[in-house]
Amino acid sequence: MLDLTTLGCIIQTRMGSKRLPGKVMKKLDEQKTVLDYVIDQTSNSKLIDKIIIATTNESEDDVIVEFAKNRNLDYFRGNTKDVLDRYYQCAKQFNLQTIVRVTSDCPLIDPVIIDNVIELFSSHECNYSTNKLPITSPECPQGVEVEVFSFQTLEKIWLESKLLSEREHVTPHIYNNPEKFTIISNSDYAEICDLRYTIDKSDDLNLVRTLIKKIQNRPILTSDVMLIFKNEPALFDINRHYIRNEGYLKSLSKNY
């Protein structure tokens, strides 16, 4: 049985995005930023009580710390480029035994999907559960990816991960070495896996702003987005030409 008192969601975030600088503090509506939506959506999980903002020690990320304080959220400051170390040190400081990983460029992260991936982890004797595999062609839209893993697994990859891509993107050492880990992956949204509503480009920002205006329900669920897609598929053409996991693919070239 999963001990929810030692489970926490760590949301990595920083202002220094190369492709869309300061994206997490950009407004999606008149009042709320990208990071506001990530927090609001995640807070609707029925299984997560603790949310921690994991940012960097860079002065430009002071604004993120102020955001966390204003929203009464726990926060952690750590390594800028070694995000794996940031996760490990954060989980260690807050005594987490189970870590839910969500990234701050996913303002429409679905709390139902979050809970499904947590329950997947709880119901199987696994080291890692997710909805984002296979990494080359995930069976979920880009913008609702969730990962759950134990602290023991996090510590193992913290010790073993040597490649720059593994340190930057946290979990590649797990799914690139399936013989070392018990991995469970499942997604119910393969039919819309080519949709993209993460925030990485200005086109992404425009699409998500449009979706937020059109969808009245809160939290916004993937089923709501599917309904919009069914009725107005052309809306999603604005950012379909972008390569999925562009940041990870670029980081692979730095390994050598």
| pLDDT tens series, the chain, 256 aa | 799 999 999 999 999 988 899 999 999 999 999 999 999 999 999 999 999 999 999 999 999 999 999 999 999 999 999 999 999 999 999 999 999 999 999 999 999 999 999 999 999 989 999 999 988 788 899 999 999 999 999 999 999 999 999 999 999 999 999 999 999 999 888 889 999 999 999 999 999 999 999 999 999 999 999 999 999 999 999 998 877 766 655 666 667 5
**What is the per-residue pLDDT for 202?**
96
User: CA-to-CA distance for 197 and 144, rounded, in angstroms?
Assistant: 8
Give backbone dihedrals phi and psi of 223, rounded to 5 degrees, phi first. Answer: -65, -35
pTM here is: 0.94
Split into its structural domains, the chain has a count of 1
- The enclosing domain of 171 has a CATH number of 3.90.550.10
Look at the alpha carbons of 242, 248, 221, 10 in this order and tell me if their dihedral is positive or negative.
negative
Q: Which range of residues forms the domain containing residue 162?
A: 4-255
Asked if 53 and 68 touch (Cβ cutoff 8 Å), the reply is yes
Cis peptide preceding 219, ω within 30 of 0: yes
**What is the per-residue pLDDT for 58?**
98
Q: Which of 49, 138, 63, 44 is nearest to 98 (CA)?
A: 49
Mutual angle of helices 222-231 and 202-214, in 10-degree steps = 90
User: CA-to-CA distance for 36 and 34, rounded, in angstroms?
Assistant: 5
Task: Indicate left, alpha or beta for 143 from its phi (over 0: left) and psi (-120 to 50: alpha).
Answer: left
